[in-house]
Amino acid sequence: MTYKEKYNEWLKFDEETRIELEAITDEKEIEDRFYKDLEFGTGGLRGIMGAGSNRMNKYTVGKATLGLANYLKSKTDGEIKIALAYDSRNNSAFFAKTAAGIFASCGFKVFIYETLVPVPVLSFTTKFLGCTAGVMITASHNPKEYNGYKVYDANGCQFCTEDAKAAIGFINQITDYSSIPFFEGYENITYIGENVLSEFCKAVKTQSLYEEKSDLKIVYTPLHGTGNIPVRRMLEGMDVTVVKEQELPDGNFSTVRSPNPEEKDALTIAIQKAKEIGADLVLGTDPDCDRVGIAVRDGDDYVLFTGNQTGALLVKFVLTMKKPTLSEKSTLVKTIVTSELGANIGRSFGLQVEETLTGFKYIGDKINKFEKTGEKDFVIGYEESYGYLVGTHARDKDAVVSSMLICQMAAWYKNQGKTLVDALNEIYDEFGYYLDSLDSFVLKGKDGAEKIQSLMANFREKGKSLFDGIDEVIDYSVGIRDLPKENVLKFICNDGTWIAVRPSGTEPKIKVYYSVQALSRQEAQKRLESIKKVIEESLINTSCPT
């Protein structure tokens, strides 16, 4: 059907949907809501909330749920059990309960949390309760207008290529929305209590590496999300001040422009509090508590660390503490757009290094494979976008265990008279200077999606001629090693610098990653600026980075 035919069909769904759609006067807005259906990306099903096939709403959640249920039936003999959880976003609890009712109507045994919990808790719960699959309602760090639907396998790993492709096939077979069994009863539905969350916290605590007393002072903000209770449990015994303005759940994220610890202004209030009390470390977790960002006191000011910098520090700390237990099987896993700094630190400890595509689900999938074959042991995995995991209690990035280890790391260094800034500079002295950056170019709607594809084609055509010094172009869309095919290009330069380009899997963006190696910060900054000038002026001069 055309987008207009879909629009007319949706007008008949219910009164609330009709009123919302008829209030839209912009034809481009109508087109954007109906020109396609939501698709699984790096973070599952994700989109702006509202009426329409390209939006998150009761009907698209219902379609995804019924399709997923049919897929699970096709591959499972016997009882099917599902675990569900949700974050603090608007409509998250409603979407989770909508999905729970549909699963129950399909005869599944459903477990759902009574209150909001982080992503890693759902990942843990799915395996802990012996479920066939799990669903988490969240849009992670996206702006308040978004929500999403992440699907997990029996091991607590997000659906990867084969499962996602098969599931979406079943979802696409649902063409009659009236066939979706929206179910108000609660037979076959069990609420998950405090006991499972406590088991998760126990599992996280087993990853503790340093518990000596320290006068480290910490400011923590959950950014109106799910991290408040579990993160504070893990930091018990430490001097922690919580940002009161951001402590309680708020789906409008009213104190920040965007609840994303990757963005500089997300930690503004926390840094102000840190200055008031003289804190050493600022910690902020995103709404579903799978990412964590930090700021570190440096004199009278605070330095915001990138995901690559925090990741490198964690690698050094974790491997130093675990050194006696490391073996030839010990392995670090990172994504293809993550800096080589942490990988090189891992190699200096004798670790093997594995690379995956962007998306922590691929790191979780590596853990599954390691456990199945026994050929490698997972020690730490991380990605540049502020996601880290130590331990195998979860198969997704975990800001609960990461927050605990970051604070223990800061305490360990403080007891040596050092800050994390000092520790990072020591790493640069040993391994060379790395400067990493990310530009995201927003291109909305159908026209934007077409522009993104055009830009990717342009990058492919330019190849090694993009600018001087490129030795190799890796096109992941043709299949590299054992990785699934994906629309990513990586340009490797003769000085160790690289640039990667990919469309976002969860937002209308094209992302450009930069990783520059040099002898000094000044030299790296100069090199980065020259590369960015080529990218922005030559290829993406019709849009503005955010």
Inter-axis angle of helices 119-128 and 194-205, nearest 10: 100
Asked if 147 and 92 touch (Cβ cutoff 8 Å), the reply is yes
Contact present, 233 and 201 (Cβ < 8 Å) = yes
Tokens of 85: 């959880």
CA distance 220 to 281: 8
Alpha helices by DSSP H, listed for 144-258, are 161-172, 194-205, 228-234
Q: What is the CA radius of gyration of the chain?
A: 23
Q: How far apart are CA 425 and CA 422, in angstroms?
A: 5
Joined together, the tokens standing for residue 331 give 């392995």
Residue holding tokens 């991290």? 227
Burial class (CB in 10 A: 0-12, 13-18, 19+), 308: buried
Measured CA to CA in angstroms, residue 68 lies from 132, 133, 190, 502 at distances of 11, 10, 20, 27
Helix (H, G, I), strand (E, B) or coil at 6: helix
Find tokens 């520090």 and name the residue: 313
Active site (annotated) includes residue 538: no
Token output for 314? 């964690």
- The active-site residue, picked from 105, 140, 385, 403, is 140
Structure tokens at 167: 């599931």
Which among 71, 113, 68, 60 is positioned nearest to 88, based on CA atoms? 113
**Sign of dihedral through CA atoms 314, 316, 318, 321?**
negative
- Cα 106 from Cα 189, distance rounded (Å): 12
**The two structure tokens encoding residue 213:** 């007393």
Take residue 456 and report the two structure tokens written for it.
């990717």
The catalytic residues are 140
